[in-house]
């Protein structure tokens, strides 16, 4: 009997230890135990503070249960002494938890206050992040830049992210930089973030938002200040001119004729920022008016798409092979995409040939800032 109990306890401790080790793996790309920003560091420290208090409470409580189980186990058929309360003991185990709650509450409230108070906008980078089913749109109002599924930030810079959703409830989360905040339709939330060092970080939606929720991801690219400015200049620079008759040029014609109603691809032009905001709103309104038959729907901005790291909102590496598969049948990569339901090229009468799909893919990958051209405009 005792051996069985010891085995059960041993297995339970081993399983708990295994779960703890897995949960604390800082090598995971989305581990919160490897913070790269002051907000993430604050949240990690608060978690560890609470965790170790919980560990002490767990050991005392479980140790007491095990001790009492063995000490006062049934030894004979005599009825044990019946007790009816112990005032001192009851007061003690009411006061102690209350003290523990207060100890945890103080740093928690201070941390909430620190993360909720936004820095001065004049000294910060302000970004608007919009959640869509199932991708992220990023707008830089001051810089007049629009992109999708890749958030570019300068290192060691206060960033205010204005969060909202165009359709359903989403949640914005970059585990290694900051905690999660909901993106709510018709309501704007704010998130303060700051990245300590350049690098590539992972983000995703953390609120169930439909069939492709688990595939609603994005990348965060943190630059040095100089490289961040270079990125802004590149986003205002037109792509290289295409050779007439090339696959890329033929793909451009096919794209303009079949895809440009939903996807913007020329936001490097001055004034394109305001136009894109209006276009996305109109696309959304038209889709809402006829969800079954609408020929357009809100879609990611593809300006300089060739520089993107991933496709399908962070699901696959952005290369020719994956892009061809995505255009052929997006549902094979990401189930539920609205592109498959509304784009004309997926109707039998407008279906593209393999060669045409290949040409569109080559054109999209050619959308990169021209090395010969200078920026269209400077802020």
Domain of residue 280, CATH code: 2.60.40.420
Q: Domain end: 116, 142, 175, which one?
A: 116
Q: Which of 61, 67, 226 is nearest to 154 (CA)?
A: 226
Judgement on whether residues 110 and 172 belong to the same structural domain of the protein: no
Judgement on whether residues 111 and 155 belong to the same structural domain of the protein: no
Judgement on whether residues 62 and 197 belong to the same structural domain of the protein: no
- pLDDT confidence of residue 10: 60
Question: Is position 8 within any domain?
Answer: no
- pLDDT confidence of residue 20: 59
Domain that holds residue 242: 125-365
* Cis amide linkage into residue 134, ω under 30° from 0: yes
CATH number of the domain within which 100 lies = 1.10.287.90
Alpha-carbon span 125 to 133, nearest angstrom = 26
Question: Is position 3 within any domain?
Answer: no
- pLDDT confidence of residue 273: 92
Alpha-carbon span 239 to 259, nearest angstrom = 18
How far is the first Cα of the chain from the last one, in angstroms, to the nearest whole number? 78
Judgement on whether residues 221 and 74 belong to the same structural domain of the protein: no
Judgement on whether residues 41 and 188 belong to the same structural domain of the protein: no
More confident residue, 70 or 361: 361
- pLDDT confidence of residue 324: 94
Beta bridge partners of 162: 128, 190
Judgement on whether residues 193 and 287 belong to the same structural domain of the protein: yes
Average pLDDT over residues 359-372: 91
> How many domains does the structure of the chain reveal?
2
- pLDDT confidence of residue 303: 95
Judgement on whether residues 153 and 275 belong to the same structural domain of the protein: yes
Highest mean pLDDT out of 25-39, 79-93, 161-175: 161-175
Judgement on whether residues 70 and 188 belong to the same structural domain of the protein: no
Max intra-chain CA distance, the chain:
100
Judgement on whether residues 79 and 139 belong to the same structural domain of the protein: no
Q: For the chain, what percent of residues have pLDDT higher than 70?
A: 91
Judgement on whether residues 129 and 112 belong to the same structural domain of the protein: no
Tell how strand 150-154 and strand 178-183 pair up. unpaired
Would you list the DSSP string of 306-360? GG-SEETTTTEE-SHHHHHHHHH-GGGTSTT-HHHHH-GGGSGGGPPPHHHHHHH
Kindly report the backbone phi and psi dihedral angles of residue 295, in degrees, each rounded to the nearest multiple of 5, phi listed first: -90, -5
Mean pLDDT of the chain: 88
Q: Which of 34, 368, 21, 23 is nearest to 201 (CA)?
A: 34
- pLDDT band for position 376 (cuts 50, 70, 90): low
Question: Is position 4 within any domain?
Answer: no
What does the pLDDT look like over 170-189, one tens digit per residue?
Answer: 999 999 999 899 999 999 99
Question: Is position 187 within any domain?
Answer: yes
Question: Is position 11 within any domain?
Answer: no
Question: Is position 10 within any domain?
Answer: no
Judgement on whether residues 107 and 145 belong to the same structural domain of the protein: no
Q: For the chain, what percent of residues have pLDDT higher than 90?
A: 63
pLDDT at 375 over 70: no
pLDDT at 14 over 80: no
Are the beta carbons of 276 and 148 closer than 8 angstroms?
no
More confident residue, 73 or 137: 137
What does the pLDDT look like over 274-327, one tens digit per residue?
Answer: 999 999 999 999 898 888 888 888 999 999 999 999 999 989 999 999 999 999
Judgement on whether residues 55 and 172 belong to the same structural domain of the protein: no
- pLDDT confidence of residue 294: 84
pLDDT at 372 over 80: no
Least confident segment among 52-61, 73-82, 285-294, 346-355: 73-82
- pLDDT confidence of residue 32: 84
Question: Is position 6 within any domain?
Answer: no
Q: Domain end: 86, 116, 146, which one?
A: 116
Q: Domain end: 68, 96, 116, which one?
A: 116
Question: Is position 41 within any domain?
Answer: yes
Average pLDDT over residues 238-250: 91
């Amino acid at each position: 009997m005792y051996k069985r109990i010891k085995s059960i306890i041993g297995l339970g401790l081993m399983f708990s230890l295994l779960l703890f080790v897995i949960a604390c793996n800082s090598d995971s790309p989305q581990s919160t135990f490897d913070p790269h920003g002051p907000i993430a560091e604050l949240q990690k420290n608060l978690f560890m503070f609470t965790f170790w208090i919980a560990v002490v409470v767990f050991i005392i409580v479980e140790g007491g249960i095990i001790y009492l189980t063995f000490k006062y186990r049934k030894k004979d058929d005599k009825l044990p002494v019946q007790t009816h309360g112990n005032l001192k003991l009851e007061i003690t185990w009411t006061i102690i938890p209350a003290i523990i709650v207060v100890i945890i509450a103080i740093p928690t409230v201070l941390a909430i206050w620190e993360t909720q108070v936004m820095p001065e906008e004049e000294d910060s980078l302000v970004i608007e992040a919009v959640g869509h089913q199932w991708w992220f749109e990023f707008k830089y109002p001051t810089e007049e830049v629009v992109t999708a599924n890749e958030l570019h930030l300068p290192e060691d810079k206060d960033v205010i992210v204005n969060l909202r959703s165009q359709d359903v409830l989403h949640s914005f989360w970059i585990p290694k930089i900051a905690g999660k905040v909901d993106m709510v339709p018709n309501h704007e939330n704010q998130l303060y973030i700051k990245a300590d060092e350049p690098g590539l970080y992972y983000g995703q939606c953390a609120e169930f938002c439909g069939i492709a929720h688990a595939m609603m991801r994005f990348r965060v690219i943190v630059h040095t200040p100089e490289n961040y400015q270079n990125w802004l200049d590149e986003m205002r620079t037109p792509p290289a001119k295409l050779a007439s008759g090339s696959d890329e040029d033929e793909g451009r014609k096919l794209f303009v004729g079949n895809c440009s109603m939903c996807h913007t691809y020329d936001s490097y032009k001055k004034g394109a920022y305001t136009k894109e905001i209006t276009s996305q709103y109109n696309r959304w309104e038209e889709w809402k008016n006829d969800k079954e038959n609408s020929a357009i729907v809100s879609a990611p901005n593809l300006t300089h798409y060739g520089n993107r790291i991933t496709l399908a909102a962070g699901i696959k590496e952005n290369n020719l092979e994956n892009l061809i598969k995505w255009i052929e049948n997006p549902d094979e990569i990401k189930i539920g995409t609205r592109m498959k339901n509304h784009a004309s090229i997926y109707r039998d009468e407008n279906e593209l040939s393999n060669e045409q799909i290949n040409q569109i893919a080559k054109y999209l990958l050619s959308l990169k800032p021209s090395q010969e051209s200078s920026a269209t405009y400077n802020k």
